[in-house]
Amino acid sequence: MRLSVVRHGQTAWNAELRAQGHADIPLDAIGIDQAHCLAESMRGLPTVEVVASDLARAAETARIVAEALGSPLRLDPALRERSFGDWEGLTFEDLFQRSSQDQVRLGLDAFHVRPPGGESFADVWDRLGAIVEQLFSAEGDRLVVGHGGANALMLARLLKGSLETSRAFRFGNASLSELQRRPDGLFQLVRYNDTSHLTLAGALSGGIDGASR
């Protein structure tokens, strides 16, 4: 089994370095171009099941890719990004300041800080557990379109890592990563954060930001 993991294309809030979370921000013009570049790079590959977060930025990216592949598309809210609750729309400078203050005030580590009305990283780790088991226990190749933070947690789960090891993963917009299931049933990372399809097409945006969701 081969699993392809895509981060959605760019949005205006990505460009402004704002926390999106569950805010339903669509792709901007660059993000749409990025999704089409990714789709063209995959056109002609075997049809796979495409599963995506139901938030607009991931769903739009997935629809463009699924159309190029001739693949069925299923949206699943379990693949959503971490909800930042009342902090959504804040710049990351402001968000990190508030998160750090709550860590000190509540005596928590960064993975267990929960914004007002939102989720902690530990909450998302638990939320992803069921969907990861459902998607990847069955046979057949799949392509998942999600978000920077949620994808990092998902890869850490699939590679038998932890909340702490999820910090190692950072994804550019419309990047492609791939995992291959080995004969022993474990996954191996065979492609990571590949954005070469964007570089060649001139659609690469301002760098990698695994926290911009």
Rounded to an integer, what distance in angstroms lies between the CA atom of residue 142 and that of residue 74?
A: 11
Rounded CA-CA distance 212/199 in Å is: 20
Judge whether 103 is annotated as a binding position.
Answer: no
Q: Is 12 annotated as a binding residue?
A: yes
What are the backbone dihedrals phi and psi of residue 48, each rounded to the nearest 5 degrees, phi first? -130, 160
> Would you say the C-alpha torsion 105, 106, 109, 115 has a positive or negative sign?
negative
Burial class (CB in 10 A: 0-12, 13-18, 19+), 105: exposed
Q: Is residue 125 a known part of a binding site? A: no
Active site residues per annotation: 8, 81
* Phi, psi values for residue 123, rounded to 5°: -60, -45
181 is in an annotated binding site: no
Cα separation, 197 vs 177, whole angstroms: 12
Residue 149 is assigned to a ligand binding site: no
Give the Cα separation of 183 and 147 in Å (integer).
29
The answer to whether the annotation marks 14 as part of a ligand binding site is yes
- Tell me if 13 is assigned to a ligand binding site: yes
Q: Please indicate if the annotation marks 36 as binding a ligand.
A: no
State the DSSP string of 157-186: HHTT--TTGGGG----TT-EEEEEE-TTS-
Does 8 show up as a binding residue in the annotation? yes
Distance CA 151, CA 124 (A): 10
Give the span between the Cα atoms of 77 and 52, in whole angstroms: 8
Sequence ranges of the binding site for substrate: 7-14, 57
Sequence ranges of the binding site: 7-14, 57
